[in-house]
Chains A and B, each alone.
Chain A
């Protein structure tokens, strides 16, 4: 039995490795879902019926089912039903599958936030751009976008902080993120067993990380405070 001070470096090393995986999943999800969400939100707002119907159905299905089920489907469906395990069994395959499920899930949530943000910008802003002879693309990027961003920062920061914690769901497909790492010391790993404190301690990682994010989002909000919509 290792003493507590001997356990510490082992546990922290393990938690750090797990947290790195958590962080990686978090960043990849954001990088993918922020632009994909925009595409889906344009899809939902499209006047071309098949596209808006497709986007709305997608959003309905993804928001209407638990992320945990989506993770299981994304990871196991190709092998179970299509007989082609595209992800493979190793850690990187599990990570990719998790990233795909998370990106899709969060893109759908983001798309609804974007839609609210875009539709919340007064129509007059668009018309002002139109009578000045600007194109739709110019109007979106030069006029609507920043006003939309200002509107969506509070709901987005909420959703993004939820994402930090949601990453822990990925352990259902055995992605070894920080909770998995913490839990392993209960069952026994690297000579330490029956220890529950590492699992509880993962909460500190989450807390610190979401604290940093909160500060960042407040900064962005402050930065956009100079104008009123």
Chain B
């Protein structure tokens, strides 16, 4: 009997604790009164959600995050006067990460598509990019136009701009986890071709990369990259002003040249 009582009390405590954890915290941090800018300033740190995506965000030999996006993000944090922290996220969960406040922005060569624009507050475009068709180099001659690629089996990243292009062109495609997997599909021959970002393609395929037998041929629709903030966030305005200033004084150009993306810049 005694043991049962102890357990009864334990369970009761657990339940009450669960309630407190739930109810107690709903009242804190009410968004209605604090702007997102203020929220980040109060925390003193801007948490940037990224993936390992060369040349936008990647780690140097010491494990520090560098890249065009990473360096620009550091400048932006300095501009609004907070520290910066990079957090690797699962790209599929970026909106949940933002809304759940586990990150404050998505800054990772993000294509400004409808899905993104509807679920986030997006900045002005800062880079333009295209989707390109990647095929094995020895077959590149046969696939110079979208029409020539009609019968190929494509690999595209789930929910990516590449997938939209595959759909728009009526290609047969398989959705895979990310762009790297799409390349892997082509390299291993399980798919005939992939559609990925031009920036990504420039960095990851061809001579001197892990995929030296792949090349890109057709360029599909061009698109823009932007930074995503929480819906309704006033950080968007901050970024737009910041970006305009930094373009004007040449800082952006300098960073872009460091990482070889100057051609893609929106000026």
Interaction A to B: yes
Q: Which residues of A are in contact with B by a Cβ distance under 8 Å?
A: 1, 39, 42-43, 46-48, 51, 54-55, 72, 75-80, 82-91, 93, 135-137, 140, 171-174, 176, 184, 186-190, 192-196
- Chain A residues closer than 8 Å to B178, beta-carbon distance: 186-187
Bound complex: CA A140 to CA B2 (Å): 12
Q: Which one, B7-15, B139-147, B241-249, B256-264, is touching chain A?
A: B7-15
Question: Which of B10, B29, B96, B183 is within 8 Å of A83, CB to CB?
Answer: B29
Q: Name the residue among A72, A79, A91, A171 with the largest chain B CB count within 10 angstroms.
A: A79
Bin chain B's interface residue count. Answer: 35 or more
Within 8 A of A (CB), among B180-217: 180-181, 183-184, 187-188, 203-205, 208-212
Q: Which of B81-89, B110-118, B124-132, B159-167 contacts A (4 or more CB under 8 A)?
A: B81-89
Q: Which residues of B contact A79 (CB under 8 A)?
A: 99-102
Determine chain B's interface SS by DSSP, over half rule. Answer: mixed
Give the residues in chain A near B187, CB-CB below 8 Å: 194
Bound Cα distance from A196 to B179, whole angstroms: 13
Contact call B208/A1, Cβ cutoff below 8 A: yes
Can you list 11 A-B pairs, Cβ within 8 angstroms, ordered by A? A76-B93, A76-B96, A77-B100, A79-B101, A82-B22, A87-B102, A89-B85, A89-B102, A172-B93, A174-B88, A192-B210
Question: B47 to chain A: which residues have CB within 8 Å?
Answer: 89-90
Report A9 CB to chain B, min CB distance, Å: 12
Within the assembled complex, what's the spacing in Å between the Cα atoms of A43 and B9?
A: 11
Contact status A80-B54, CB under 8 Å = no
Task: Say yes or no: B183 contacts A194, CB within 8 Å.
Answer: yes
Q: Which residues of A contact B181 (CB under 8 A)?
A: 186-187
Binding site for A on B (CB under 8 A): 1-4, 7-8, 10-11, 15, 21-22, 25-26, 28-31, 47, 49, 51-54, 58-59, 61, 85, 87-90, 93, 96-97, 99-103, 178-181, 183-184, 187-188, 203-205, 208-212
Query: B17 to nearest A CB, angstroms?
Result: 13
The answer to whether B100 touches A75 (Cβ under 8 A) is: yes
> Pick the contact of A43 from B11, B90, B93, B96 — CB < 8 Å?
B11
Name A184's contact: one of B8, B10, B52 (CB within 8 Å).
B52
CA distance A135 to B4 in the complex (A): 12
Point out the residues of chain A lying under 8 angstroms from B99, CB to CB: 76, 79-80
Cβ contact within 8 Å between B90 and A1: no
Q: How far is the CA of A90 from the CA of B85 in the complex (A)?
A: 8
**A84–B25 CB distance below 8 A:** yes
Contacts of B179 in A (CB 8 A): 187
A136-B7 Cα distance, complex, nearest whole Å: 13
A72 close to B93 (CB less than 8 A): yes
Given A47-B4, A186-B180, verify A39-B11 contact (CB < 8 Å): yes
The chain B residue with its CB closest to the CB of A42 is B7
Q: If the complex has contacts A174-B89, A190-B59, are A89 and B103 also in contact, measured as CB distance less than 8 A? A: yes
Question: In whole angstroms, how far apart are the Cα atoms of A158 and B24 in the complex?
Answer: 39
Give the nearest-CB partner of A88 in chain B.
B102
In the bound assembly, the distance between CA atoms of A55 and B7 in angstroms comes to 11
A46, B26: Cβ atoms closer than 8 Å = no
A187 close to B53 (CB less than 8 A): yes
Shortest beta-carbon distance from A43 to chain B in Å = 6
For A78, the chain B residues whose CB sits under 8 A away are: 25, 100
Instruction: Give every chain B residue within 8 A of A77 (Cβ-Cβ).
Output: 100
Across-interface contacts of B4 in A (CB, < 8 A): 42, 46-48
Task: Say how far B59's CB is from chain A's closest CB, in angstroms.
Answer: 6
Among B26, B51, B93, the residue within 8 A (CB) of A84 is: B26
Q: Which residues of B contact A39 (CB under 8 A)?
A: 7, 10-11
Cβ contact within 8 Å between B26 and A83: yes
